[in-house]
């Protein structure tokens, strides 16, 4: 599976868990210790956004830097209609990655310049893990497409420093030798199935 295919599938996996959310779901706790469902959806929506009516991914793909963006994405970006805000952001971010030569560009992230393909892969990995988080938080379907999980696991295993304990992840957990890919992926991010 190439990164663009994985990205599309990952957006679809997360989207399928966002659209059915009810008013009662937004305050539920997620496997991310400090986040509610709203916090989680806000996080992934903010990854797609740059500012009202503009988008983070398209702007970074166009060469803007995080310094250019500033603190626009601090706080709540979901507003009164969080599902629609997520849908709008994800559709437009997806279109930005599908633009001709988009993955050949360089983007300016907090830690420096990286390829747009790597940026897309990072966002894809995040979507896959958080699709499971959202399902767990809402008692939804925790099954994620095995091909997508395999892609995310391969990506994570190839970038061991990405998963170092810190503000993003608690650090890897041990798993049994015969653990399936989803269990392994979740354990790499400090989660138990």
- Structural domain that includes position 111: 3-140
Evaluate whether residue 192 is within a structural domain. Answer: no
Position 57 pLDDT exceeds 80: no
pLDDT band at 22 (very low <50, low <70, confident <90, very high): very high
Q: pLDDT exceeding 90 applies to what percent of the chain?
A: 60
Backbone φ and ψ for 115, nearest 5 degrees, come out as -70, 150
Residue 32 has pLDDT above 90, yes or no: no
- Whichever domain contains 16, its CATH number is 1.20.120.450
Query: Mean pLDDT of all residues in the chain?
Result: 85
Question: What confidence category does residue 133 fall into, taking pLDDT thresholds of 50, 70 and 90?
Answer: very high
Quick check: is 120 in a domain? yes
Three-state secondary structure of 5-52: HHHHHHHHHHHHHHCCCCCCCCCCECCCCCCEHHHHHHHHHHHHEEEC
Using DSSP's 3-state secondary structure scheme, residue 113 falls into strand
- 188: in domain: no
82, part of any domain: yes
Residue 51 binned pLDDT confidence (cut-offs 50, 70, 90): very low
Residues 102, 149: Cα–Cα separation, whole Å: 24
User: What is the rounded average pLDDT of the residues 149-155?
Assistant: 97
The answer to the question of residue 134 being in a domain is yes
| Model pTM score | 0.86
Residue at 155 is within a domain: no
pLDDT confidence tier of residue 55, bands split at 50, 70 and 90: very low
Give pLDDT, residue 52: 30
Tell whether 60 is covered by a domain.
yes
Question: Is the four-CA dihedral 142, 145, 147, 151 of positive or negative sign?
Answer: negative
Output the CA torsion sign for 104, 88, 14, 72: positive
pLDDT digits (tens, 9 = 90+) for 97-130: 898 988 998 876 667 778 889 989 999 999 999 9
- Look at residue 191 and give its three-state secondary structure: coil
pLDDT at 135 over 90: yes
Tell me the sheet residues that pair with 112.
Answer: 109
What span, in angstroms and rounded, lies between the C-alpha atoms of 116 and 108? 9
């Amino acid at each position: 599976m190439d990164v663009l295919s994985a990205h599309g599938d990952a957006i679809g996996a997360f989207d399928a868990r966002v659209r059915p959310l009810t008013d009662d779901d937004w305050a539920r706790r997620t496997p991310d210790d400090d986040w509610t469902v709203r916090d989680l959806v806000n996080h992934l929506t903010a990854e797609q956004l740059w500012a009202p009516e503009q988008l983070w991914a398209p702007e970074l793909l166009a060469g803007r830097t995080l310094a250019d963006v500033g603190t626009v994405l601090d706080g709540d970006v979901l507003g009164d209609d969080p599902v629609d805000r997520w849908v709008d952001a994800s559709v437009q971010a997806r279109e930005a990655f599908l633009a001709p030569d988009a993955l050949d560009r360089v983007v300016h992230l907090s830690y420096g310049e990286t390829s747009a393909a790597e940026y897309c892969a990072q966002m894809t990995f995040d979507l896959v893990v958080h699709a499971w988080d959202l399902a767990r938080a809402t008692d939804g379907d925790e099954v994620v497409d095995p091909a997508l999980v395999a892609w995310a696991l391969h990506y994570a295993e190839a970038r061991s420093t990405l998963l170092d304990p810190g503000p993003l992840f608690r650090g890897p957990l041990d798993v049994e030798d015969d653990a399936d890919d989803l269990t392994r992926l979740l354990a790499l991010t400090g989660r138990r199935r």
